[in-house]
Structure 1
C-alpha cells in the first residue's frame, strides 16, 4: 500500500496563507515608510538609515505587548485596534527619555493563521505607527499548531528611537517646587485587563456586545478604546520647553510609574481630585467594590502620561500640549522627600 504523503499543511502550518498575509499587509506598512527606510516587509532584515542632523545620537529601544486586552478583542472579533495599543505601549515608553521613534517591528503568533484577522491586526499597527510618526519596517508571523487555542493570538512589539545625548531626559534635575502635569488617557489603555475581564464577564456576567448605560457604549467599545499615543505632542513640547522628567502611566498606575523617574531626596505629591476620573474607572470601582488604593495601583485613572517641569515653564507647557490636542491637568508638585509618590 502506498504511504500517504505528509505535508507541513497537514501538520497545521499553511505557508501559502503566510505568503498571502505578507502581500496583504505590504500596503499598510509602506504608508509608514520615510526616506530612511532601505528595505522593509518581506525580507530577512529591514534596513534604516540613521537620520541626519544628530551630533551624538543615542539609540533607545523598547518592547512590550498588549496583555489580556487581546482576549477582549478576540471575544468581540474586533482586531483593528489592538495594533494601535501595541505601538502605543512601546513608543510612549521610549518617549519618556525624549526619544523620537524611528522604526517598529511586530511579532504575531497564533495556532492557525487567519489572514483576515492578522491583516486587521497589522492594519492597526500601521495606523499606530502613522500616529507616532515611525516606520513599520518588519515583523514576524508565527503559526504554531497546538500551542494556542483556536482563534487566539499573541502580539509583541519592538521600537527603536533616537535622541541627542545632551537632550536625554533622566529626571536627575527634578527638585522641590517643580510642577507635575498629567495628560489625559483615552481610557483603560492596556493594563489591568485581568481584573477588568473578571469583573465584566464573570462577576457582572456581561457579554461583549451588551450596552452599558453608565458607559454610554457597548462593552467591547469601552474596553477596546485604543491607548493614546503622546509622541507628537510631547516631542513638540520638548522643542520649546525644558522638561525635567516624564513617565508613561501603565501597569502600577501613577504611583508605580512616576516613582521610576524621581531622584533621591524628593517626593511627588499627587492631588487625586485635580483631574476628572473617567466613567470607566468609576464603573469598575463601584461595580467591583474595588478599594481606591487598588484602583490607583492597577489603572491609570485617567492620566496616561506625566510631565514634570519647573514652575516658570508650567503654563507654557500646558498651553503647548493643549494646542497639540491634549487635555492637560496640573496634578501635583515635587517636594522634599525620599523618592516616593504620595497620593492625597
Structure 2
C-alpha cells in the first residue's frame, strides 16, 4: 500500500515554514511600541498605551475583492497587499482612531512561496504607511479549493481612540464644509464592472493610457490616509469622515451624518481622473451608476466647521494631499430626501 503524507495530498508544511521565515523581516519593520512577542506565536499580543485614560478599540475587516483577478491575470502581486490593509485601516481611521495592528489571512490551493512573499511584503508596506504593526496572520494551503495560481486575501485592523475623542458625526451641523481627499484611482471597488467594461471594449491591458498603461491605472494601490489625517487632526477640528468605498459618495457620506442633515456636493468641485471617464464611456455607464459604484477620484471625505475649512485645506496640502472643497452640509427637509446629493 502506498504510504501517504500531507505533502502527497497537496499541502507542503515546509513551504509554509519557509514563507514565515521570509516575511519576518517585513513584519519586523512595522513594529511599534506595544507589540509583545513576534510573528509565529499562537496569538498576537499588543499592550495598549497607558497614555489613554478611556481607551476604546475600533476594528475593521475587509478583503480586496475581484481586483485580485487582475493580479492573477497580469502577474502583479506586489500591491494587492497594500489594498488589503487600506480597506480596513481607512475604515478604522474615520472613527478618529489610531491603527495599532493588523492581521492578514492568505489562502490558496497550492502555496507558491515567491508569490505569497510578494503579497505579504505589500501588506507590510501598507502597515508602514498606516503606522501600525503587522502582528500576525495565517496562511492556509487548501488543495482543491482554488484554481491553480489563484488565492484569496482577507485581513483586519484594530485601532485605539480616547473615548472622548471618538469621531462619530454627532457634531456635524448645517454650514459645515465637505472636503475630499484624492484617490489613486478606483482603489479596490467596482472591479467586477471594470473587468466587464474592459472585456466588452476589447481594450488591451497594456495599451497606453494617461501616461502609463491601462493596467497601471487600474492596479494603482488603494491610498492610505492615516498619518496625514492624524497630523491634521492635531491642528483643526474634524466633525466627521467617510471612507469612499463600494457605494461611492452617495452611499458612504450619509453613514456619518446625524438626523436632519444632508450633504450637497457640487459636481464641478473636483476633476474626475481620466480612468473614470474612460470606464463610463466604454461601458456606457449611467452617471447615477458611476456615483454608486466608484469613488470617482475621492478616496476620503472630511467634514469640518466652516471657520476651520481654510486651515484644514492648508493642513492637508502641507501633508502632500490633493484636497477639494466638495460642498456643504445643509438641513434635510424630510426623511425621504437623500443623505447626499451630487448636483
TM-score bucket (shorter structure): over 0.9
CA distance in 1, matches of 2:139, 2:250: 36
Work out whether residues 278 and 302 of structure 1, in 8 Å CA contact, stay in contact via their aligned partners in 2.
yes
Offset at residue 207 of structure 1 (A): 3.8
Q: Which region of structure 1 is more displaced relative to structure 2, 232-241 or 244-253?
A: 232-241
2:208 match:
212
Structure 2 gaps, min length 5: none
Structure 1 gaps, min length 5: none
Report whether the alignment pairs 1:18 with 2:16.
yes
CA distance in 2, matches of 1:241, 1:254: 23
Counterpart selection for 1:97 from 95, 98, 107: 95
Report whether the alignment pairs 1:300 with 2:298.
no
Q: Deviations over 1:76-119 (max 9, x none)?
A: 11101000011110000011110000000000000000000000
> 1:155-170 to 2 correspondence within 5 Å?
155-170=153-168
Offset at residue 240 of structure 1 (A): 1.8
CA distance in 2, matches of 1:24, 1:273: 48
> 1:1-344 to 2 correspondence within 5 Å?
3-200=1-198, 202-208=199-205, 210-213=206-209, 215-337=210-332, 338=335, 340-344=339-343
* Consecutive aligned runs of 4 or more in structure 1 exceeding 4 Å deviation: none
Instruction: State TM-score, norm by structure 1.
Output: 0.97
Work out whether residues 109 and 141 of structure 1, in 8 Å CA contact, stay in contact via their aligned partners in 2.
yes
Offset at residue 220 of structure 1 (A): 2.0
Residue 328 of structure 2 aligns to a residue whose secondary structure is strand
Work out whether residues 184 and 303 of structure 1, in 8 Å CA contact, stay in contact via their aligned partners in 2.
yes
Offset at residue 141 of structure 1 (A): 0.2
Residue 158 of structure 1 aligns to a residue whose secondary structure is strand
Offset at residue 241 of structure 1 (A): 1.2
Q: How much is the aligned-residue C-alpha RMSD, in angstroms? A: 1.0
CA distance in 2, matches of 1:260, 1:117: 37
Q: Which region of structure 1 is more displaced relative to structure 2, 218-227 or 117-126?
A: 218-227
CA distance in 1, matches of 2:106, 2:14: 16
Offset at residue 53 of structure 1 (A): 0.7
CA distance in 1, matches of 2:72, 2:203: 15
Work out whether residues 271 and 332 of structure 1, in 8 Å CA contact, stay in contact via their aligned partners in 2.
yes
Q: Deviations over 1:142-185 (max 9, x none)?
A: 00100000000000011110000000001011111110000010
- The number of equivalent residue pairs is 339
